[in-house]
Structure 1
Amino acid sequence: MRYMIKEKFWSWGDDFHISDENGNPVFLVDGQAFSWGDKLSLRDLQGKELAFIDQKLLTFMPKYEIYRNGQLFAEVRKEFNWFNKKFTLDVPGPNDYTIEGSFWAHDFCFLRSGRIVATVSKAIWSWTDTYGIEIEEGEDDISILSACIVIDQVLHDEKNHSSF
């Protein structure tokens, strides 16, 4: 399945639209405007919350938790690495995702058991952050899309903090 994540141009919080490969809206991400840390809700078009993303503060490396149906479902962690950026999407069971690639260019992939199961690339010429995501059949689209939002948040925070 192919998706496009596009950040809203004008919004109080970090809000995103997610569409399918034909440009039809599929999901919305609503970020809370005034909160300690990032708090984002991934919803279907009827408003049902499919995942809630919560940034954990006061951690050595960036860490976010993904909740489904009010229960902790997964964690996204930025891993310590001297030269490359690497993330882990820790989901229940032994089938975690490793996320690696060229984060400077915002092109990365999700690997599970050494096999690429999703690829992500950022549109270069866009007013807002826009990503194309291709997810293999049978993978957990909601977890992967949530992790893409987290990575955008982490990279955006790093970019803002490096300018001081």
Structure 2
Amino acid sequence: MNVVISDAKYVATQETRFKSKEKVGLSISGSDSGKVYNEDGSLAFLIKGKHISLSDAIWLKDGETEEPVLGMKKKLVSLHQTVFVVKPNEDVVGIVKIKLGLKKKISLFLGDSDDGDPTYTAEGGMRGKRFDVCDSNGDVVCKVEKDSLNMRNMLTDQDTYNITVPAGGDSAFFVLVCTIIDELFHDEE
């Protein structure tokens, strides 16, 4: 796997684990925030967004420079829940869709079109916050697992996710995909 969606500097040179800590619920300001840490505990990304604006945008920012890397923008009217993955210049680089039915199916398309087969699919117990992102061959390319309910998460009012990105995977993209899936499922609750 060697996929560059955001920027080459975010492509993992080896299997890499991240810990994403996101605030649960909305703040008084209507913003969403979180932090994503590398295995060594250093800040890799910031998650910043507003839910009160019409665009309902959330941005993944570089942990050092705080410059936007990738963002998500929800499609306001759609048969299926749809989120666009955008670069800071607003170019669409991916589309995430949830198709509702007997079983929820999350499809991820690279590029600005959702025609044809998805590039990736997300499978697993998404409500339980354990899921795999698989490529079109069914091979797992990213694993996401929510930390069990613990006192620290309850006291700090946050969800903690462990995200494993394979060598050659775009870390920023897969961290944002985890955030998008979490957002889409929180919208339904």
Structure 1 and Structure 2 fold alike (TM over 0.5): yes
- Alignment partner, residue 89 of structure 1: 108
- TM (norm. structure 2) is 0.77
Distance 1:149 1:140 in 2: 14
Determine which of 51, 54, 57 is the counterpart of 1:36.
54
- TM (norm. structure 1) is 0.88
Matched, 1:7 2:22: yes
- Name the Cα RMSD after superposition: 2.0
Deviations 1:50-69 (A, max 9, x none): 01210111112211001114
Question: When the two structures are aligned, how many residues end up with a matched partner?
Answer: 158
Code of the residue aligned with 2:76 in structure 1: it is L
Structure 1 gap ranges (5+): 160-164
1:79 CA drift (Å): 2.2
Does the Cα contact within 8 Å between 1:8 and 1:17 map onto a contact in 2? no
Distance 1:22 1:86 in 2: 34
Code of the residue aligned with 1:21 in structure 2: it is E
Partner of 2:186, secondary structure, is helix
Determine which of 69, 72, 86 is the counterpart of 1:53.
72
Partner of 1:146, secondary structure, is helix
Code of the residue aligned with 1:20 in structure 2: it is N
1:89 CA drift (Å): 1.3
Distance 1:121 1:81 in 2: 24
Return closer, same or farther for 1:69/1:14 CA change in 2, 3 Å cut-off: closer
Distance 1:139 1:95 in 2: 17
Return closer, same or farther for 1:156/1:95 CA change in 2, 3 Å cut-off: closer
Distance 2:92 2:41 in 1: 31
- Alignment partner, residue 184 of structure 2: 154
